[in-house]
C-alpha cells in the first residue's frame, strides 16, 4: 500500500509503515509543508496514496467524500507525540490486511477505529 504522512505527524510513522513493507512518504519529504488541505488531498488522489493525518478537517465527509480518495486515516488521539503515534500505527498494521481502506475514512482513536464509507 502507498501512504502519505501529513506534516502534523512524526516522520517515524512513515518509517513504521515502510518497515512493514508499505511505500510511505511524508508531506515534508515532498516539500509540501504548509500546503493547504485541498492541495494535499489532490496530491494524494493523483499519487493514489492513503493520507494519514491528525487534521480533523479530513474527517468532514462533505469536504472530503471518502469514495473519492485512495483512503483517509484520521488520527484523533489525545497525544500526538512520537511514541503515541508510532504505537497506534503499529496497532493498525494488522487491520490493513483485513479491512478495506480504499474509498474509506478511518477515524482512529487510542482504543478504537471507526470506518466510514460506502459498503
Per-residue confidence (pLDDT) for residue 118, from 0 to 100: 67
Is residue 107 classed as helix, strand or coil in its secondary structure?
A: strand
Which residue positions in the chain have pLDDT lower than 50?
Answer: none
Residues in contact with 58: Cβ distance below 8 Å, sequence separation at least 6, in sequence order: 37, 41, 51, 64, 72, 74, 105
pLDDT (0 to 100) of residue 32: 86
pLDDT at position 13, please?
97
- The pLDDT score that the predictor gives to residue 101 is 95
- The domain 2-117: what is its CATH number? 3.40.50
Report whether 26 contacts 47 (CB < 8 A): no
pLDDT of residue 2: 97
What local confidence, expressed as pLDDT, does residue 119 receive? 52
Q: Where are the domains of the chain?
A: 2-117
Amino acid at each position: 500500500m502507498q501512504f502519505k504522512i501529513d506534516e502534523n505527524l512524526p516522520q517515524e510513522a512513515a518509517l513504521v509503515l515502510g518497515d512493514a513493507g508499505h511505500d510511505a512518504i511524508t508531506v515534508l519529504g515532498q516539500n509540501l509543508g504548509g500546503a493547504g488541505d485541498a492541495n494535499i488531498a489532490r496530491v494524494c488522489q493523483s499519487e493514489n496514496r492513503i493520507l494519514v493525518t491528525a487534521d480533523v478537517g479530513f474527517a468532514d465527509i462533505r469536504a472530503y467524500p471518502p469514495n473519492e480518495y485512495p483512503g483517509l486515516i484520521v488520527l484523533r488521539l489525545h497525544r500526538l507525540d512520537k511514541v503515541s503515534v508510532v504505537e497506534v500505527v503499529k496497532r493498525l498494521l494488522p487491520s490493513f490486511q483485513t479491512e478495506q481502506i480504499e474509498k474509506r475514512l478511518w477515524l482512529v482513536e487510542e482504543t478504537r477505529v471507526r470506518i466510514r464509507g460506502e459498503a
